């Protein structure tokens, strides 16, 4: 009976009313730089929530915003630069995602298309990995750093301690 109740609450958390992104790793790798710059705020808010709350159920709204941003991003790419993007990720797929240098021509064509039609510049190397401060409207949790109370101090030893009768019990280096 308890298991059925638990499954019922789980299903209420996981509503499947939204679309899911089902693309290959080549598509994700090809779109990564532009996706990172376009959906940066939603992703960082979600990661902040996950870190502060330590409970994925409390971050479902932020996760939905990330999913919605990704869906809108791929819809814009598909509507504006589908041909150049398909050439780029296909090249990445054929090169086994190992060496991006084999697909620089396709990457340049895709970046130019995105810049011309959507106005998105490819971020510079390392720009997306910089430490940033996230401005969020979500309230700070009660114990955001999950700090614990200080432990009790060790009790005072009563009496006098004598050395062990037979010396140390560690015989690793006794020879």
pLDDT in tens, 27-57: 999 999 999 999 999 999 999 999 888 888 9
By C-alpha distance, which of 9, 137, 10 is closest to 62? Answer: 137
Decide: 70 and 43 in contact? Cβ < 8 Å: no
CA atoms within 13 Å, Cβ hemisphere of 91: 20
pTM (2 decimals)? 0.72
| Burial bucket for residue 64 (CB in 10 Å: 0-12, 13-18, 19+) | middle
How far is the C-alpha of 116 from the C-alpha of 66, rounded, in Å? 25
How far is the C-alpha of 35 from the C-alpha of 77, rounded, in Å? 10
pLDDT of residue 106: 94
* 56-113 per-position pLDDT tens digit: 899 999 999 999 999 999 999 999 999 999 999 999 999 887 678 899 999 999 999 9
Place of tokens 């899911």: 20
Name the H helices within 54-167: 60-94, 104-118
Backbone angles phi, psi at 60, to 5 degrees: -65, -40
Q: Tell me how far the alpha carbon of residue 79 is from its chain's centroid.
A: 27
pLDDT of residue 33: 92
How far is the C-alpha of 87 from the C-alpha of 90, rounded, in Å? 5
């Amino acid at each position: 009976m308890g298991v059925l109740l638990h499954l019922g609450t789980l299903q209420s958390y996981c509503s499947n009313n939204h679309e899911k992104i089902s693309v290959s790793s080549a598509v994700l790798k090809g779109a990564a730089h532009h996706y990172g710059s376009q959906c940066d705020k939603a992703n960082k808010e979600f990661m902040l929530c996950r870190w502060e709350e330590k409970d994925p159920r409390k971050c479902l709204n932020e996760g939905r915003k990330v999913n919605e941003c990704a869906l809108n991003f791929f819809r814009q790419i598909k509507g504006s630069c589908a041909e150049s993007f398909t050439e780029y990720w296909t090249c990445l797929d054929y090169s086994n995602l190992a060496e991006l240098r084999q697909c620089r021509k396709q990457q340049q064509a895709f970046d130019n298309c995105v810049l011309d039609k959507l106005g998105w510049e490819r971020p510079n190397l390392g720009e997306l990995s910089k430490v940033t401060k996230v401005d969020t409207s979500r309230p700070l949790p009660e114990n955001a750093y999950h700090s614990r109370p200080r432990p009790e101090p060790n009790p005072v030893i009563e009496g006098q301690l004598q050395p062990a009768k037979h010396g140390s019990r560690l015989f690793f280096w006794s020879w």
